[in-house]
């Protein structure tokens, strides 16, 4: 599974590279608008993920680095984070 999350991070980073190149040197007419639209939607999605999962980053060693990685690769970084420990209550 870690290989799939790593590939997802790689391809998401590659997409962000295409978006940045498209901002510097726009592609042909209909394509540059679609790349900009897809980049905007992906950024909006990653911002929403950051807002939703911000509380789970509070106990991490480097929460700002995690927030930056969520902005860049989104759910692919969230899936690689360890699950929080579950504390069982004593019912007796």
Q: What confidence score (pLDDT) does residue 56 get? A: 82
Q: What confidence score (pLDDT) does residue 80 get? A: 78
Residue among 76, 91, 83, 90 at smallest CA distance from 15: 76
pLDDT per residue over 22-44, tens digit each? 999 988 888 999 999 999 999 99
Q: What confidence score (pLDDT) does residue 78 get? A: 80
- Ramachandran bin of 74, using left for φ above 0, alpha for ψ from -120 to 50, beta for the remaining angles: left
Q: What confidence score (pLDDT) does residue 37 get? A: 95
Residues in the chain where the model's pLDDT stays below 70? 83-92
Q: What confidence score (pLDDT) does residue 2 get? A: 82
* Burial classification of residue 74, based on how many CB atoms lie within 10 Å of its CB (0-12 exposed, 13-18 middle, 19 or more buried): buried
**Residue 50 near residue 70, CB atoms below 8 Å:** yes
Domain parsing of the chain, residue ranges: 2-77
The residue to which tokens 């940045």 are assigned: 20
**Residue 57 near residue 66, CB atoms below 8 Å:** yes
């Amino acid at each position: 599974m870690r290989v799939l999350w790593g590939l997802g991070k790689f391809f998401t980073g590659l997409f962000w590279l295409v978006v940045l190149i498209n901002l510097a040197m726009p592609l042909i007419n209909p394509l540059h608008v679609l790349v900009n639209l897809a980049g905007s939607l992906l950024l909006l999605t990653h911002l929403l993920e950051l807002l939703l999962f911000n509380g789970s980053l509070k106990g991490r060693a480097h929460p700002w680095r995690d927030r930056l990685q969520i902005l860049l690769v989104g759910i692919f970084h969230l899936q690689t984070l360890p699950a929080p420990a579950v504390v069982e209550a004593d019912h007796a």
